[in-house]
Amino acid sequence: MLTIVSNLWRRLMKITVLLLVVWFSSVLIFKFVPVPFSAVMVERQISAWININFSYVSRSEWVGEDHISPYVYLAVIAAEDQNFPYHWGFDLDAIERAYKHNMINKHSVRGASTISQQTVKNLWLWDGRSWLRKGIEAAMTPVMELMWSKKRILTVYLNIVEFGDGVFGVEEAAKKFFNKPASKLTMNEAALLVAVLPNPHRYSVKSPSLYVLKRQAWILNQMHLLGGKNFLKNNQLISQ
């Protein structure tokens, strides 16, 4: 019995080491190479096939940082993670605020995931809530932060984030919803795109609800309060 347990343990350790090597290699590669697809894209596609939905296709089109409107960078920071340039993957103040909120409001759970954490989750992990996934995400995030620049994290995030049913990445979203490339998105369009990110299956860019329009207005105000493009330049998130 002990021999069987010992063999299983050794095999488990070998598998774990192999997975770590593969993941670490991908972190190195994606620091320079465009990301072809994400774990969430694969998950969505497999789920569609299982449900015999053969019309569903996970679509994305990679674009480099110079082909994304600065307004999109600014909008996603304003909406999702205003301390993004300053933290190392985790916003401790946001975590504390979310904890206090969730202790009082049991039926209105608030998250505190940074853009970095969301990038890790979307690119390498699975969707949904679980302590296992959050634990793995927490271990992987500082490594990515250490190896990638903030600009790279933002660029990868915007290329793989889901904006609608089967619509992944800002280039695909810009062409589908505004008939233009991501580089040409205006401030209002960028804010509207980002406004649906809390739940792109519930909220629509094409037919925005009152909530989405209010959120768009709030994001626009936050973009101005941050300082507009100067905020990005001062934190070296776009070229001068």
Confidence of residue 93 (pLDDT cuts 50, 70, 90): confident
How far CA 238 is from CA of 65, 67, 73, 185, in Å, comes to 8, 11, 9, 15
Q: Tokens 């040409």 map to which residue?
A: 184
* Helix 115-124 and helix 39-50, axial crossing angle in degrees, nearest 10: 50
Q: What is the rounded distance in angstroms from the CA atom of residue 81 to the CA atom of residue 79?
A: 6
Confidence of residue 1 (pLDDT cuts 50, 70, 90): low
User: Which runs of consecutive H residues, i.e. helices, occur in 31-91?
Assistant: 39-50, 70-80
Q: What is the rounded distance in angstroms from the CA atom of residue 230 to the CA atom of residue 120?
A: 27
The answer to whether residue 102 scores a pLDDT higher than 70 is: no
pLDDT in tens, 34-64: 999 999 999 999 999 999 998 898 989 999 9
Dihedral of CA atoms 151, 152, 155, 156 in degrees, nearest 10, equals: -150
The answer to whether residue 29 scores a pLDDT higher than 80 is: yes
- Domain boundaries in the chain? 34-86+149-234
- C-beta separation of 110 from 198 below 8 A: no
pLDDT in tens, 197-219: 999 999 999 999 999 999 999 99
DSSP SS3 for 227: coil
Architecture field, domain 34-86+149-234: Orthogonal Bundle (1.10)
Q: What is the rounded distance in angstroms from the CA atom of residue 28 to the CA atom of residue 144?
A: 9
Percent of the chain scoring above 90 in pLDDT: 72
Confidence of residue 159 (pLDDT cuts 50, 70, 90): very high
The HSE-up count of residue 61 (CA atoms within 13 Å, CB side) is 11
Enumerate long-range contacts of 1-8, CB under 8 Å, 24 or more apart.
Answer: none
Tell me the chain's radius of gyration from C-alpha atoms: 19
Q: Can you give the pLDDT at residue 4?
A: 72
The answer to whether residue 75 scores a pLDDT higher than 70 is: yes
